[in-house]
Structure formats: C-alpha cells, structure tokens
Amino acid sequence: MDVHDDLIEQLADVGRAAVEQGLVLASGGNLSARLPGSDEFVVTGTGTYLDRLDFDAFSVVGLDGRLRAGNPNPSSEWKLHQRTYQVRPDVNAVIHLHPQYTVLLDALGHRVRLISLDQAYYVRKVENVPYFPSGSDELAEVAAEAARNCDAIVMGFHGCSCVGDTIAMGFRRAQNLEQAAMTTFRCLQLGNTELTFPPEWFDKLATV
C-alpha cells in the first residue's frame, strides 16, 4: 500500500468514527491530509458521505488550488484545507466537522472551556471565527489565519477545523474539543461560569 492509499484509509476510518460519534452528520464535514513531500493534499469530494468513504471519494488538490487527480469534484470547502496548509507547513491533516455542542455554545456567546487533562492537552487553545458562507474565500481565509497560532478553530454557526501533524492527532483534537464543549455546557447548566483546567498546571502540559 502506498502513502496515498494509507492516508485515504486513515481518513475513511476517521470519517466513520466521526459519524458514529455524532461529530457530524454523514453528508457534512470534510477531511484532508497532506501528501508527504509534495505540494498536494487528498480531500474528500463533494457529496460524499463521511461514513462511506472509498478511494473514489477523494480528490488530489495542489496547494495552488488546481485539481491534480482523483474525484473531479473536491469538497466545496477545499479552500479551507488549501489555505490552512499554506499557512501551517507543520500541519499534515485538517479535520472539518460539525460538532453540535461546540457550534451551539459558540453561537450562544460562550467560549469552550478546557477542563479535563485530555481537553487541555490535546486542544490547548480555541479560536473562534465568525460565520461566513460555506466554501467562501472569506471563511477559508479567516479560519486559516486563526490556525496560524491555534490547532482548534470554531467556525461560527457551522463547525470546527482541527489540525494536526497526523490525521489521528487532528481527529483526537476534534473529539476533545466537542467533549470540552459538552463539559462546558454541563458546567453552565450547574451555574458554573469559570471552571477550567488548573492554570498553574497548564503551561507544564508539554511534559505530561
């Protein structure tokens, strides 16, 4: 199996898990991975179902925005992936999902708080960007700009873009972001508006 096929298998596994875990409805969201040592990335095609991704579901797109191979219709949100790879050479995967607690909290004007060790360790920081239409240049640009210094971006009234040096890390980040949003939601239900992971330990997380 070559690298391209391996990445597609990993993305297909993530797509299935994301739908099973309620992080996106099957027809929403899109996933990508940078092809190592190239200026290209594989991205899910438009109209594909994340829980049923096969090899034909994927397009190969260049960082210049040109379709290079595969599915002739890349996701309408391909620019989000392209711009993010352009500004983050260290990022090899972009996981774009529609996690409902994350979106709801943000829409209600609450920040997602990182409370447990896993949430703090994997997510670290959350940036929010306002709503722009799906697939627009504006959305791709503000989300990529936010990703310069952050690995977990909440896209207003829409979803999240979580990045990682690997596909597994990008997905783990998205899972922990949504879990943090659920935890924050429960805190708010209990009347708590302040709780976070202990700040004095936060800076020491790199050594965990």
For Zn ion, the binding residues (CB under 5 A) are 159
Tally of CB atoms within 10 A around 202? 13
**HEC letters along 114-139:** CCCHHHHHHHCCCEEECCCCCCCHHH
Nearer to Zn ion, 99 or 159 (CB): 159
Closest contact distance (angstroms) between CB of 63 and Zn ion is 21
Nearer to Zn ion, 46 or 196 (CB): 46
3-state secondary structure of 31: strand
Closest contact distance (angstroms) between CB of 155 and Zn ion is 7
How far are the Cα atoms of 64, 115, 138, 172, 194 from residue 198, in angstroms, in the given order? 43, 8, 36, 21, 11
Closest contact distance (angstroms) between CB of 1 and Zn ion is 29
Which residue of this chain has its Cβ atom nearest to Zn ion in the complex?
159
Closest contact distance (angstroms) between CB of 23 and Zn ion is 12
Q: What is the DSSP letter of 25?
A: -
Closest contact distance (angstroms) between CB of 76 and Zn ion is 9
Nearer to Zn ion, 86 or 134 (CB): 134
Q: How far is CA 50 from its chain centroid?
A: 14
Nearer to Zn ion, 70 or 159 (CB): 159
Query: Helix crossing, 3-20 with 167-189: angle to 10°?
Result: 20
Nearer to Zn ion, 26 or 188 (CB): 26
